[in-house]
Amino acid sequence: MRFILFIASRYLFSKKRIQVISLISWISVLELYVIGTAAFGCLLSAFNGLEGWVIRLYNSFDSDIRIESAQGKWIDAAEFPLDSLRQIDGISHVAEVLEENCLVIYGDNQYVCTMKGVSDDYVAMTGVDTMMVDGAFRIKSKSGSMAVVGSGVAYSLSMSLNAIDKALVLYVPKTNIGSTLNPADAFRSEAIFPSGIFEIQPEFDARYIFTPIDFADKLTEGKNRRTAYEVQFSPSADKKAIEKALKAQLSEKYVVKNRFEQHELLYKVINAEKWAVFLVLCFILLIAVFNVTGSLTMLVVEKSADIRTLESMGADKSTIKGVFFAEGLMITVIGLITGLVCGLIIVTFQEMQGIVLINGEDPYPVLVKAKDILAICITVITIGAAASWFPASRAVNKRSLRSLAEI
C-alpha cells in the first residue's frame, strides 16, 4: 500500500515539470470537487437556515402540542381532562382555544378573518408578544376585553390604535336558525377595542384576531366548547416522553399534534426541496466526473513506459491498477477538503456579514449541520471512487493485453 501511494503521489505532485496530464488533473480538482463540494455545502446550509428561520416564525405562534377533536370541530370543555393534563410533570401551561370565522367591521371597512379566543395561560406561553409592531399583547384590561389584531387584518380594516373611540365589531353566524327577513338576526355580534397589532408572517397576519376565551365563548352562543387545547413544555422537559404520555392518557376522541405535525406539509416540502437540490447536484457531479475519467485514462496512456517498468519489477495487475485508483482518490480527497473549507468560509462570511438578503433587510439565514457534511463526504468520495476505479481498471486491462500481444 505504501508503494502504491508513493507512486500515485509522484504522478500527482511531480516537481520536474508541469505536464499536460497533471494540469488536467488539477483542473478536474478545481472544477469538479472544489466548486462542486463548496456548492453542496452552501446550498444545504442555505436550506437548513431557511428551515430554521421558518420554524422560528411558526414557533412564536404555535405551541409545543396542540390537542384537537378527532371527530368534528368542537371539544366539550366539561369532558376534557384539563386539570389532569396540568398535573403532568414537564407541562408548564395548557391553554384553552376557541377559533371561529367571523366578519369584522371597523368604521366603514369590513373583513372576514378568524377569531382566536384564548385563556390566560396562552398569554403566558405565547411568543406573539415578541412580534408586536404596535401596542401590546393585552387581551384584558380594567375596562373589559381587548383584541390583538394581525397586521394584515389591521391593514384591510385601515385600523389605527390612536382612534380610541372606534371599536371592532365581530359578527359570528348563529347556529340552528331558520329563515329570517332581517339578515342581522342571523348573526351574533360583540364590540371589542384593539390593544395591539402583531406581525409574524402573511399567513397569520391576514387571518387572526386574538380575544379572551370568555369573549369568544359568549360570541359563539356560550356553549362552553373549545376547538383545541395548546400545551407548552417546561425548558427541561422530555418532549417525546410527554407527547407519548399525552397520547396514552387521552382517548381516541382526541388528536395530539407536535410542532412538526401542526405544519407537516410545510416541513416536508422544505426537506423535499433540500434533497431534490442535493440530487440535482449529484447528477451534475456525475456528468462532470468524466473529466477525472478522461484525465486518468490519458495518464495511463502517458505512463505506458512506467507500467512496463513496474511489471518488470514484479508489480502485478492489481498493484498497477491500485496506483491509478489511488491517484484518483487523492484528487477526490484534496478537492473534497478544499471544497469543504471554501464552502465553510462562504457560509461563515454570509452569517457574519449578511451579503445575501432574504427580504431586502434581513440576511439570508445559513446553518451547517454535521449530517450534511457527512452526506457530502460520502457522496463525493463515492463518485470519486467510481470515477477512479472503472477507467483505471479498464485502461490497465487494455495495456496488459497490448503488452501480451507485443511479446
One DSSP character per residue, 64-98 reads: SEEEEESSSS-EETTTS-HHHHHTSTTEEEEEEEE
Name the band, by pLDDT with cuts 50, 70 and 90, for residue 307.
low
Q: What is the pLDDT of residue 202?
A: 87
Q: For residues 350 and 363, is the Cβ–Cβ distance under 8 A?
A: yes
Tell me the pLDDT tens digit for each residue of 95-119: 999 999 999 999 999 999 999 999 9
CB of 219 closer than 8 Å to CB of 115: yes
Report the mean per-residue pLDDT for the chain.
82
| Rounded Cα gap, residues 287 and 70, in angstroms | 50
Better-scored residue on pLDDT, 62 or 387: 62
Tell me the mean pLDDT in the region 252-278.
85
* pLDDT at residue number 407: 39
Beta bridge partners of 76: 225
What backbone phi and psi angles, to 5 degrees, belong to 5?
-65, -35
Asked whether the beta carbons of 96 and 229 are under 8 A apart, the reply is yes
Contact by Cβ (8 Å): 93, 66 = no
Residue 144 has pLDDT above 80, yes or no: yes
pLDDT, position 165: 85
Does position 406 have pLDDT exceeding 50, yes or no?
no
Give the number of other Cβ atoms within 10 Å of residue 137's Cβ.
20
* 3-state SS assignment for residue 212: strand
Question: What number is the average pLDDT over the span 22-50?
Answer: 76
- pLDDT tens-digit readout, 376-385: 889 888 888 8
How high is the pLDDT of residue 397? 63
- The answer to whether 264 and 55 are in contact (CB under 8 A) is no
Q: What is the average pLDDT across 298-321?
A: 67
Count how many residues are written for the chain: 407
CA distance 187 to 177: 10
In the predicted structure, residue 15 carries a pLDDT above the cut 70: no
In this predicted structure, the answer to whether residue 65 has a pLDDT above a threshold of 80 is: yes
pTM of the shown model: 0.70
Could you give the percent of the chain with pLDDT greater than 70? 79
